[in-house]
Amino acid sequence: EAGVTQFPSHSVIEKGQTVTLRCDPISGHDNLYWYRRVMGKEIKFLLHFVKESKQDESGMPNNRFLAERTGGTYSTLKVQPAELEDSGVYFCASSQLNLGADTQYFGPGTRLTVL
Amino acid sequence: AQTVTQSQPEMSVQEAETVTLSCTYDTSESDYYLFWYKQPPSRQMILVIRQEAYKQQNATENRFSVNFQKAAKSFSLKISDSQLGDAAMYFCAYREPNTGNQFYFGTGTSLTVIP
């Protein structure tokens, strides 16, 4: 079974540019999560999809971030325009259920560098 | 908001020896879940071990075990017979069963295994 995949693995852009990150969850997983880790800090929750609906987007930093999950399969996270503080590693995770004990399966992350 | 603290940014252990990674958390809840995730270099995060707060017995997975002290809000990870493949970043995470679906992560501990 394929795991959670993310593309690209690395992205280097200049301040003011736009970047789109993609996440493909494990097939059949309705729940998809985005997290971000800024260098040296904790991994922070951004948002949670159940199928194509946003269940919780309380962690989104501001309106420069737009997440979509059309069709309830893969998801994209667009940053427009990017700022220096957006640099970090963006993780995607998916889970089959939406229970506290349920394991979230993580992708390898996308390392975003904004210059 | 719940906080998870990993006070050891870096740890090292000799191959075949035992190492303990510390994690403390802050919550007013009585029911929750705790996790340890491992992220090897340039690879995705994988679940190492999980503990339900209502269980008094410490979780164990082969060479990995936890010391869960609910009153002290402590959740340390013990790795026995350390192997080179254990070298990774280890993240402690907390999750509540009903209020929201996100994980709260610590800042991580980078473990080096010395041959």
Whole-number pLDDT of residue B31:
87
**A43–B91 CB contact, under 8 Å:** yes
pLDDT per position as a tens digit, A61-84: 999 999 999 888 999 999 999 999
**B105–A42 CB contact, under 8 Å:** yes
| A48 close contact with B: CB closer than 8 A | yes
**What does the alpha-carbon distance between residue B48 and residue B40 come to, in Å, rounded to a whole number?**
12
Query: A48-52, B28-32, B86-90: lowest mean pLDDT where?
Result: B28-32
On the 0-12 / 13-18 / 19+ scale of CB atoms within 10 A, B66 is buried
pLDDT per position as a tens digit, B72-109: 999 999 999 999 999 999 999 998 876 556 789 999 99
Q: Give A100's contacts in chain B (Cβ within 8 Å).
A: 31-33, 95-98
Other beta carbons within 10 angstroms of residue A6's beta carbon come to 22
pLDDT per position as a tens digit, B38-60: 999 878 889 999 999 988 899 99
**Rounded to a whole number, what is the distance in Å from the CA of A22 to chain B's nearest CA?**
15
**Rounded to a whole number, what is the distance in Å from the CA of B33 to chain A's nearest CA?**
6
Which of B31, B44, B49 best probes binding to A when mutated, by most A CB atoms within 10 angstroms?
B44
**What does the alpha-carbon distance between residue B5 and residue B92 come to, in Å, rounded to a whole number?**
8
Work out how many CB contacts closer than 8 A connect A with B. Answer: 61
The residues, ordered by sequence, that sit 6+ positions from A93 with a Cβ below 8 Å of its Cβ are A4, A32, A33, A35, A104, A105, A106, A107
**A35–B103 CB contact, under 8 Å:** yes
Q: Are A83 and A94 in contact (CB under 8 A)?
A: no
